[in-house]
């Protein structure tokens, strides 16, 4: 992982192993990453657990975004993997890693 979101990932990675969630203000995240884009303050999709650079950072650190509170300017991260791009989920389904919708595994 490279880029401006490494410090956010490092921060999350250094939290105690028994800490299952952390809530950060947008200002805290802003300081960690050297400036949030305006869309992070208004667009929920920016915080999606997707394959975009910022999401890859927190996902690779073992966290995902659980809640975004725009009125309070806060984001809650929860330990554990969730999300991924649609392409990731489709590839996993084709490989048999997750059950297909019919309840059967695809080969």
Give me the pLDDT at residue 92, please.
56
Q: What DSSP designation does 25 have? A: E
Assigned domain for 1 exists: no
Give me the pLDDT at residue 3, please.
87
Element (H, E) at 66: strand 63-69
Assigned domain for 93 exists: no
- Indicate the pTM of the whole model: 0.75
Assigned domain for 32 exists: yes
Assigned domain for 64 exists: yes
The sheet that has 74-79: what strands, in order across it?
Answer: 21-25, 74-79, 63-69
SS3 60: helix
Assigned domain for 107 exists: no
Give me the pLDDT at residue 100, please.
37
- Domain holding 50, by residue range, is 6-80
Which residue pairs, CB below 8 angstroms and at least 24 apart, start in 35-38?
35/4
Averaged pLDDT in 10-residue chunks for the chain of 107 residues: 86 96 98 97 96 94 96 97 58 54 39
Provide the domain count of the chain: 1
Give me the pLDDT at residue 105, please.
38
Assigned domain for 55 exists: yes
Beta bridge partners of 74: 25, 69
Assigned domain for 10 exists: yes
Assigned domain for 89 exists: no
> What are the helix (H) ranges across the chain?
6-13, 26-33, 53-60, 86-95
């Amino acid at each position: 992982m490279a880029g401006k979101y490494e410090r956010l990932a490092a921060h999350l990675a250094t939290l105690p192993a028994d800490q299952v969630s952390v809530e950060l203000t947008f200002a805290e995240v802003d300081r960690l990453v050297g400036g949030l884009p305006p869309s992070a303050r208004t667009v929920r999709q920016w915080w999606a657990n997707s394959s975009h650079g910022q999401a890859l950072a927190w996902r690779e650190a073992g966290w995902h975004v659980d809640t975004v509170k725009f009125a309070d300017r806060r984001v809650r991260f929860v330990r554990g993997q969730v999300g991924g791009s649609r392409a990731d989920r489709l590839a996993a389904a084709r490989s048999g890693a997750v059950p297909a919708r019919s309840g059967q595994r695809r080969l």
